[in-house]
Each structure stands twice: as C-alpha cells, then as structure tokens.
Amino acid sequence: MIEVRGISKRYREELVLRDITTALPTGKMVAFIGGNGAGKSTMLNIICRLIEPTGGTVRVDGRELKEWPSRELARVLTILGQSLHTPARLTVEELVAFGRFPHSGGRLTEADRRKIREALDFTGIWDLRARFLDELSGGQRQMAYIAMAIAQDTRYIFLDEPLNNLDMSRAVRIMKLLGRLVREREKTIYIVIHDINFVSFYADYVVALRKGVLCRQGPAEEMIRPEVLRAVYDMDIAIEPYGGKQFCVYYE
C-alpha cells in the first residue's frame, strides 16, 4: 500500500500541493484527474522520490520512502514520466533491458532475458526488438517504454500522461494493455490521464485534484457523476450510459 500523509510542495511562492493525505488502493488501475496545474504529476513524482516534498511523508508498503535504498525501491515501483529521453541509436530490446537493471546490475541473466522477451511479447512489439528508437513512430516508442516498465516487474507502475500525442487506436490499445496488467499480472497502475472517458471506461478508482488539493476520490462509478466532475473541472459535463459505462459529454 502507498500512504501519503500531509504532503505539500512549494515552488518559490507557489504552493502546488496542499496537505494531501490519502491511502491509495492496490491491485487496481487508479486514475489521477484534474485540470492543468492541479498537482497530479507533482504528486506522482514525490511518491516515486523524484522530487522532495516541502512537507509530509510517504510510506510504501509500510516503510518510510526515505528509508528505501534506491535499488530496492526500483524493484517495487517504476515511473514513466512525460519526458522520456534516451539515445536515439538504442534498439527497442536494449531499451527494454534497462528495466532489468535494478535486478541485474547490468549483468543480464537468463531469467532477465526471459523477462525482456515476455515484456516484448506482452506489448506486441517483439517484431520491433532490433529497430532503433529513432526509427519508430511515437506510438511504437511509447509502447517500448511501457515494455521497459513491464520488464522491471515492479508491484506498482506509475504513468504520467502516457496517452499524450497518440492517435485513438494506439491510446485504446495501451489502456487495454494496462488493464490486462492489473487483471492478469496483479499489478497496480497509477496513471495521470486527461481524457475523462478513458478514465470512465478503464479505471477502477479515481483520485481527483484541484489547485493542489485532494478534491474527491473513490471508485470510478462513483466519481463519474456530473456533480463530482463539476467540482473537479468547474464545468458542466453530461453523463450518458454506454456499454455499461458512463460516457462523458463535454463538447457543448
């Protein structure tokens, strides 16, 4: 379990997170929603120890975040941020192999290579394994990074806006793949996402932030409601049933 207690973050005079306390569910796809500047990415980066909070603490599986050795923590959680920079002349298979570093220390065993093959197969990019990253489309490259995270084989996977700049087909494919990770491999996915309909159709649980404050949280079916979404986005969003889910209409 991941527990956040009184987390705040200040950049100079701006308080971007304000005294957030919550326990995040496990074994689910948990979507973080809210407008730009709500603090979603900052919260993920603090939980993953990429940035220091101004105040408060984080506990991962009952242990203070600061007490985790870096390599040990990297066997428990992984994060894919918004900006992913790697050498262009790296092959897909070489990139995915980086996911095994916390386990192998750079000396791949047969068990590591098996995890790499499984990740390439699971994401459907085995045929791209020898291609260089700069030869791939944006969607293919994003799938390669997700394969790297899968190869790392952590309990918790954090994804910060992984659908940015993807076409509809690729975005749906990634969301379905993430759902399979939860159902078939018992992973916990924490994902920052802007498209509220992807949240409605694929997420199990929703954490909503607004102006640095934890606004609402709960099961997706309880969060995808007009009154809740108005509190989060300050706009009227109509809800229509579709395929057993709630479809959000916000184009008017």
In the block, tokens 């975040």 appear at 65
| Residue 150 exposed, middle or buried by CB count within 10 Å (0-12, 13-18, 19+) | buried
Confidence at 246, pLDDT banded by 50, 70, 90:
confident
Q: Do 250 and 230 touch, CB atoms closer than 8 A?
A: no
Q: How confident is the model at residue 232 (pLDDT cuts 50, 70, 90)?
A: very high
With 70 as the cut, is the pLDDT of residue 158 above it?
A: yes
pTM for the whole structure:
0.93
State yes or no: pLDDT of 252 exceeds 70.
no
- Beta bridge pairs of residue 157: 78, 189
pLDDT above 90 (res 27): yes
pLDDT tier at 139, thresholds 50, 70, 90 = confident
Handedness of CA 41, 43, 47, 53 (dihedral sign): positive
Which tens digit of pLDDT belongs to each residue from 162-197? 888 788 998 999 999 999 999 999 999 999 999 999
Mean pLDDT of the chain: 92
Pair 71, 104: CB distance under 8 Å: no
**Given a cut of 80, is residue 235 above it in pLDDT?**
yes
The pLDDT value given to residue 88 = 67
Question: Lowest mean pLDDT: which of 39-43, 56-60, 103-107, 180-184?
Answer: 103-107
The arithmetic mean of pLDDT across residues 78-92, rounded, is 81
